[in-house]
Each structure stands twice: as structure tokens, then as C-alpha cells.
Structure 1
């Protein structure tokens, strides 16, 4: 797929055209067998209410003039399962887990590839963030060994990324004493109470949960670097080195070097194209207004959102909109083949 570097801006839809889009969406949602017969309007699976995913889902719903629910969930893996089972209209998922769902690898090896998974667009970058108590002696990822670490609840994107990193590092969960499986909205409190020494979070910044840990619990953000990280980024197309800007949480907070993924919006091929078209139009018809809703969206552009972190083919509803804007000049690539034969499913995921 090729995109223009600076797509031409288009004015907002005229009232007549906007009404037509909304009526088409309502009709699609009311069609028998449209894929969500038991659900009211649009349902977007998000993640913990404490993260940017849920804020993003709520923003998307506010932009639509039809019933829409931003539904909290266990995270990316759980969301991708919900899309596969036809339980939601669309969901937010990390780019690494989108790739694994498409190829049937890692935590999706047991269920196999999802041939009906479709990409809509990508969103903010999500650095893999390590937060540690200042009195823990943890100054880098290598120092986590032997400490109590929250790796995330099963089904969450942060746990999936952590398991991938542990494999590259040559570690397992047994290297922590112990590994905790708390959801994102509980880990800062556990850090404050001294129940864990460190927590990981794959999330857009700034994040209120991390802000709480840093400002109220004498915690710090820690670099995630080393040969394992370099090797992982070099071998993985959906990962990249990332930096968390200095001064984001406290005036003396230094820039933090790590790596990360991107948040993506995905849906099933069975989701009505008019429903996906309406979501895409709601975002791109006034992208500046959408970007103003959260600091994590500051670097978004149509070219990046149509390409970065997307492993699944584009949904027909999204493809229709991009063609109308003149942004899509070639068909999207075929989904990638797994680099290695699928490994047995990790029983801890």
C-alpha cells in the first residue's frame, strides 16, 4: 500500500452528505444478520478504564451520532478474541498482537490465524514502560530479576509484549519473585503499597496510572535497553525503538529510552462496511479535532495511520473512505506469513 506523504485536506462533510452517512450506518446496524444483532449500535472493545485505549474508545463514540459503547476489557488479546467471535463491532489492539492474530502465532497458536481480521487504522505509539519504586534498586530491565514484578493480566497487551521480551532476554516468569498478574488499573496501587517492586505498561503517554505512581508513590520511569531489546526490534517488523519525553511526569524526569508498538483499530470482515466507514469518516473528516482530544495523538497523520502497525488487510469500509480521499493508490499487501512455525501456546497467557 502506498500513501501520499501530505494528503490534501478536505472540508468537513456537507450536512446532506453527513446525514446520508449516518442513515447508511443506522441501516447497516439494523440489517438482520449484520453481525451485531444482539448489540445496541456500535460496540468498541477497549481495555482498562485507566488507559488511553478506553479514552480513545470513548472519543470515537462521542464522534458518532448513533448508539455507541466503549466497552472496558481485559486488553488486546481479549479484544481480538471478541472480534473473532463477532461479539463487538471493532476493537483496539496493540500492533504486535494484531500481527500474532493474523499469523496465528504466540498466544494465538492454539486457535490459529484469523483470516477475517481486518485493519481500520493505527493510532498513537505505545512505548513499553517500566516503572519501579525508587527504593527497589532497579535501574534497568536487567535489574528486575528476583523482584516482584507485575507483568499484566492474561489477555492484556502489556503481558503479551512482556512475554515476547522475556523470550528475547532468555528469561521466564520464574525469574521474578514473584510475577503478578494484576490489571492495569490496580498496579499503581500495588506499587504504592509495596506489594510489587516494579510494573510494566505498554501505553500511550501521558498516562494517569503512571502519573499516580510517579507523583504519589516515589516511583520512577526506567530505561528498557540492552542486547535483548536490540535483537527483538531488529527482528520484529511491528516494533521500533521509542523515547518517552523528558519532563512528562515531573520536572526532573529524564527522557526514557525503550521500544514500543502502535495502537490499532481492527474489525472483522463481517462487520458492515457502512459502520466502519462512519467511524473512519468521523476521525479523518476533522483529524485536528480528534488529535486535540489527547496528547498521545499529537504525531498522528493520515499517511502513518494508514500504514504503521497494520498487518491485517484493510477493512472494506476503511478502504472505501481512503479511496474517496485519494489516499489509497494501490491495494494493501497480503497478510504476512509467520517467520517461524507457530510455537505451542504459552499456558501463562
Structure 2
């Protein structure tokens, strides 16, 4: 009888050893937020969630939202574990644009990883815009109420030494209308990713398409770009509407989606999450055309919208991805966030009686002063 018990015990232990050791470190269920159903963010979150379920048995519920606040609130209120965000991750960390109101301000968010996505100034081929500098006086399509798109364009114009006053801003009510405006000859250029459906239409139209290059060795241009939006890096893109096979377009890479959590999320929890993201890569990397870019040598390094979480850094360092330069970048980014948070607390208390519109305008001016002092 004792031998049978012993055999049963050893057998049970061997069965446990045969299970993925890592599976016990992930929670049984998680909640993530993302962009709307049909978006790239939702598709990629779904593919990763499916991989987590197949490999570790973790059930993930994704809450889609078409608004940045809708993606952020569940995370900040503790109702979601992670959020697959766009540039609102940067904006809310700075208390900028939609988050410059008295009830928002800078928030302490942290990144786990973020897939690189390329963009540049994309012009109609007949607009005479070979370089960013050539956009002076040209019609540039912006999207009403969409600072995420517009501030990237402002940064790219700065690469060519231009400000918004140097171009003719044409405001369109929706993203789709702005992207298709060049084909209709209602604008000359815009700033976006190179694979939107409207750009394929432009490439096939009589106007044609051209990608203004953001050369990596243009140090002055990059310094000017990063002063406006310090979350981008040089990127060679070989998949773009109208780009001949074998050619490369010199663009900037930002991160979308950015897998985000709060700074007080447990280090071990985040370590387990990013390890799972790495170990299931082969299960989801073919989920969409862009998902191969989730490999951590690309998605787990700066520059990114917010500082990396310590749990993520611990794992990235273990697998040899994280460098001393990355440490320096992260420390600088934490310092910027903390400095803005302190400035916000003082500004908020002194100006709480202002109207929301005046408060936001005054804070954005104060924010600009604080950021300038850090450079």
C-alpha cells in the first residue's frame, strides 16, 4: 500500500513537473482594453490573448473602446490589468491635450512593450514635396480633434525646420477623410502610417505617392523632431503603398499598440506577463502582417511613450535585450514624468478656480516651460 502511495506521489510530482512551470505565474483571468473591434490594436490584442489561452490556459477579456479615455479609465480604476494604447499613453503621462483638464493631469503609467509602426510625411506624387522642407506653403491634412495624428505631423514638419505657421493646415472631420483628401486633390500631404487603404488608392491615382525621407543621419532634423515628440526613432520601412519591391522608405517609428499598466502593478506580475509575451511569440507572430514586430528585440526597447516597468526591464535584461543606454533613457523619462507631476500638483492647486478652457491653455504653456527646462 505504501509503495502504491509513493508511486502515486512521485507520479503526481512528475506530472506537475511536466506542466509549463510558468503557467502558475499568470493569473487565471485578465482584462485588457484596446481600440475598437476592427482596429489593428484589437486584432493584435486578440491574437496575443488567444496565444496566452492556448499556452497557459489564461482567459483574457478584451474591452474595446473608440476613445482614449475609454481605454484608460478601466486601467486607472483597477478594472483592467493592461491597456493596448496609442499615443494617449504619452499624452496622459504628460497631462497634454485631452488630459490637460483639472480632473486629469500627468499619470504614472509604465510600458511593458510596444510594436514599432512607421510613419512620415506622405505626399501626392505631383505636389512637389520631395523632402519635408519642400512642404512649406503646401496643404497639409490634419484631423479635427485628433491630437495623436496631428502632433506627429507637427513633429515631422519640425524635422524639416518647419512649424505649423509655415504650411496651410486643412482640417478634416475624420481620419478617413483626411487620408483620402490627397486623392481628391483637397490636400498635398499628410502624416500617417504607410499602409492605410486610402494610400493604396492614392498610389494608383493620377497623382501618385511619395514618401518624404527622414534620414537617420540628419542629426539636426531628428533633434528638432524629438523636441516636439520624444517618442520616435528612425525606421526603414519596406512595406508601404506604392513602394516598389526591394526599396526602403526612411521613416520614423512610433509605438502602436503600447501595452501599458500602472506604475504600482507588481513587478513579478509584469515579469510574468512579458515572459509570456516572449514565450508565445511563435503562436501569434503571424496573426497580422505587422505582428512579427512584437519580437522583444524590437518592441522591448526605447524610445516609447512612457517609461518601462521595472518588471519588464528585469526580464529584458535577463534575455540580453536591455542595454545601459536603455537604462539611461528610462531614467531620463522617469525624471521627466516626475518633474511634470510635481509641476502639475503646484499648478493645479494655484489655478483650480479657472475655467476648464483657460486652465488647459495655461497648463499647456506651463508644461512647455517645464519640458524646455529639462532639455
Structure 1 and Structure 2 fold alike (TM over 0.5): yes
Task: Give the Cα–Cα distance (whole angstroms) in 2 for the partners of residues 320 and 67 of structure 1.
Answer: 24
How many aligned positions are there?
A: 310
Structure number having the greater helix percentage: 2
Structure 1 match to 2:167: 175
**Counterpart among 224, 227, 230 of residue 222 in structure 2:** 230
The answer to whether residue 133 in structure 2 is matched with residue 142 in structure 1 is yes
Structure 1 match to 2:290: 296
Task: Give the Cα–Cα distance (whole angstroms) in 2 for the partners of residues 323 and 140 of structure 1.
Answer: 39
Shift of 1:56: 2.0
Contact 1:78 1:156 in 2 (8 A): no
Q: Which has the higher contact order (CA 8 A, sep 6+)?
A: 1
Task: Give the Cα–Cα distance (whole angstroms) in 1 for the partners of residues 135 and 70 of structure 2.
Answer: 27
Structure 1 match to 2:232: 239
Contact 1:46 1:57 in 2 (8 A): no
Rate the CA distance shift 1:232–1:17 in 2: closer, same or farther, 3 A: same
The answer to whether residue 250 in structure 2 is matched with residue 257 in structure 1 is yes
Rate the CA distance shift 1:285–1:170 in 2: closer, same or farther, 3 A: same
Shift of 1:250: 4.4
Structure 1 match to 2:364: 345
| CA deviations over 1:181-232 (Å, ceiling 9, x no partner) | 522x44444443344332211x4x6554533442467541321447873332
Task: Give the TM-score normalised by the residue count of structure 1.
Answer: 0.66
Q: SS state of the match for residue 178, structure 1?
A: strand
Listed as ranges, the gaps of 5+ residues in structure 1 are: 1-12, 30-41
Task: Give the Cα–Cα distance (whole angstroms) in 2 for the partners of residues 19 and 97 of structure 1.
Answer: 32
Rate the CA distance shift 1:79–1:289 in 2: closer, same or farther, 3 A: same
Structure 2 match to 1:43: 32
Structure 1 match to 2:28: 25
Highest CA radius of gyration, 1 or 2?
Answer: 2
Task: Give the Cα–Cα distance (whole angstroms) in 2 for the partners of residues 304 and 56 of structure 1.
Answer: 16
Structure 2 match to 1:36: none
Structure 2 match to 1:312: 307
Contact 1:128 1:259 in 2 (8 A): yes
Contact 1:54 1:72 in 2 (8 A): no
Structure 1 match to 2:47: 59
Shift of 1:265: 1.4
Task: Give the Cα–Cα distance (whole angstroms) in 1 for the partners of residues 265 and 124 of structure 2.
Answer: 44
**Counterpart among 108, 130, 140 of residue 121 in structure 2:** 130
Task: Give the Cα–Cα distance (whole angstroms) in 1 for the partners of residues 78 and 206 of structure 2.
Answer: 41
Q: SS state of the match for residue 235, structure 2?
A: strand
Contact 2:122 2:191 in 1 (8 A): yes
Task: Give the Cα–Cα distance (whole angstroms) in 2 for the partners of residues 308 and 268 of structure 1.
Answer: 18
Shift of 1:118: 1.8
Task: Give the Cα–Cα distance (whole angstroms) in 1 for the partners of residues 246 and 179 of structure 2.
Answer: 18
Structure 1 match to 2:84: 92
